[in-house]
Structure 1
């Protein structure tokens, strides 16, 4: 081993033995190449390791009064701060069972007494080389993890910015307010958290998916960007022909998100959920919805959750062409749609968390300024400049 004569840069070693002559012998043998610390008991060894910079290697006797070498090794290997320090057992216990026990405790090597200096020096040097390589690999992996974390944070920021920009486009085109978006994404989060342990939904609703549902929900009506203003902002009831055009917003939304996925060339979970929600949130449990007339479990869970969230908010929301429905009446309407419009189990979750829905609706209620913007939008359609 090419040793550096600067003491501050030499490998450090802790020698643990209850026999003073052995400590002197080992120290004399190793002191020219290594920084040496000694301990005459297992208890002192643990104190030395834990109170300062950990040694690069530990030479550890097995049979000692108090804590044995085996017990010291167990404590060191159970501690995340010390488990990577290589341990070489130095012991008079020479059976195969003793060696297997020592190596099984995580020791890097096992040398029996009496010590042969050339053998000890060679095996110490080998273990220090292995440790140096492992340290380099750990440092490299730590840097990689930091870089992955940084890139992930950047991707999350880009994802959030993309959602924000697309949501802003929806708000600019629709006469509903940004508060509708904020409310519906919180409604869907409440439902998902309530159902996360339900037998029908537990396979789908883990922490990551619930977070992605929250992020994807604002894009449920993104397809309305493609609906003409004369229909999208019409203050009264749509004609059958106009309604057929309005219904296409589900397909337009799906296709817009699918196009974004195609350009990316990779599967992006939040876009997949956003596509499901945009396309399927107007489907009904009994198959009478649109655009495809899907029914039951054939409708994605994400879309079934959004169906309840979206309808509840539409019912309670005041618009220039209708008053908002009282919470209790909206709850009754959702309940009446159990098993026809909505998944029965999701309705049950809604009924269990109805007070939470009401709190969200009150916290993100539309203001008079929101209503004024709706009126301005309608005025623009009625009398464009």
Structure 2
């Protein structure tokens, strides 16, 4: 791998600049020279440099001041301070404290100059190689992670479809609930990763219904109290099915499956959790699930009109539903309408 280093030299004496250019050129490097430190700073602001050779005694600003400013722009760049001050340790200490990497005195010893510049550039080269290797590895890891994530989401989709074979409405129901949940999560300011995850995990909320008998699941009319107690167990069944998975996405689905019938005021089931004790994703899916259930035709009821279902959601703010989730739902109501119309019981 070939490296072309961007080296700058800053000195108000043009003869000194010519000497630096000659010495660097003797070991195969080109130098961009500046007699005005202000011009050098402007260059550093828009160009990545690999090393700066800075004179100490200059008008307008000295080398220590310039070093501090360069370091403020490019903290990792090595800087060699060059000065005719031989015995003043204050200057040396000030140079190193400002961020200088090396310190050379005038007249410049050509052998020492070449050795120190080569050493700094060698270190710079290996750091660049490591950085590029790290970026390559990061890219490969991201690609592999994306493949794994895609497979995880595929598995979630397949799990979510399991319930389709038990309930004819569930196929579109889980699609709508996933979309509603994502709209709410985005409105609540959740991270993009969380919003993407809940879109894929929300469809698992009723996975436990595979353990409920068809007689109860598809009963025409209202369930008896005994039947309802059995139906309520689908939350526990769903959590048990998913909770021991290695996948964090499926484990997230377990929290949703187990808690999506909990209510914000603590009157829900199976545990009677309330407020922040209910996992956030379950609080979001609780609203999405109820809204879709209200606006969907089921064996035991007709679909509610859209507006009536929205009024119910608003009326349950702080009771059944997290107030923040309700507010986010209302903020995204135009998108909710779009999902409702595009996936209406087809």
* 2:300 is the counterpart of 1:306: no
CA distance in 1, matches of 2:315, 2:29: 79
Query: Is it true that 1:135 corresponds to 2:132 in the alignment?
Result: no
**Aligned residue number for residue 213 of structure 1:** 198
Q: Following TM superposition, by how much is the alpha carbon of 1:220 offset from its aligned partner in structure 2, in angstroms?
A: 0.9
The equivalent of 1:199 in structure 2 is none
Give the structure 2 partner of residue 170 of structure 1. 163
Q: Measure the CA separation in 2 of the matches of 1:147 and 1:284.
A: 43
Q: CA deviation at 1:280?
A: 0.8
CA–CA separation in structure 1 for the residues paired with 2:66 and 2:187: 47
Q: Distance in 2 between matches of 1:63 and 1:148?
A: 49
Deviates more, 1:158-167 or 1:329-338: 329-338
TM-score between the two structures when normalised by the length of structure 2: 0.81
SS state of the match for residue 151, structure 2?
Answer: helix
List runs of 5+ in structure 2 lacking aligned partners: none
SS at match of 1:237: coil
SS at the partner of 1:35? Answer: coil
2:80 paired residue among 74, 80, 88: 88
- Offset at 1:32? 2.8
CA spacing shift, 1:110–1:171, aligned 2, 3 Å: farther
SS at match of 2:284: helix
* Alpha-carbon distance in structure 1 between the residues aligned to 2:271 and 2:328: 25
More displaced 10-residue stretch of structure 1: 319-328 or 94-103: 94-103
**Cα separation, 1, equivalents of 2:236 and 2:337:** 32
Cα distance change of structure 1 residues 235 and 55 upon mapping to structure 2, 3 Å threshold:
same
- CA–CA separation in structure 2 for the residues paired with 1:287 and 1:85: 59
Residues 1:145 and 2:138 are matched in the alignment: yes
Find out whether 1:256 has 2:241 as its counterpart.
yes
Cα distance in structure 2, aligned partners of 1:10 and 1:245: 73
The Cα RMSD (Å) is 3.5
Structure 1 residues 10, 155: closer, same or farther in 2, change over 3 A?
A: closer
SS at match of 2:270: coil
Partner of 1:318: 297
- Of residues 324, 328, 331, the one that matches 2:310 is 331
Structure 1, 274-283 or 206-215: larger mean CA deviation: 206-215
Say whether 1:59 aligns with 2:53. yes
Aligned residues: 343
**5+ unaligned residues in a row in structure 1: which ranges?**
1-7, 197-204, 371-385
**Aligned counterpart, 1:22:** 16
Closer, same or farther: CA 174–120 of 1 in aligned 2, 3 Å? same
Q: In the superposition, relative to structure 1, how do residues 121 and 217 fare at CA in structure 2: closer, same or farther (>3 Å)?
A: same
Aligned to 1:36: 30
* Stretch of structure 1 that moved more, 229-238 or 272-281: 229-238
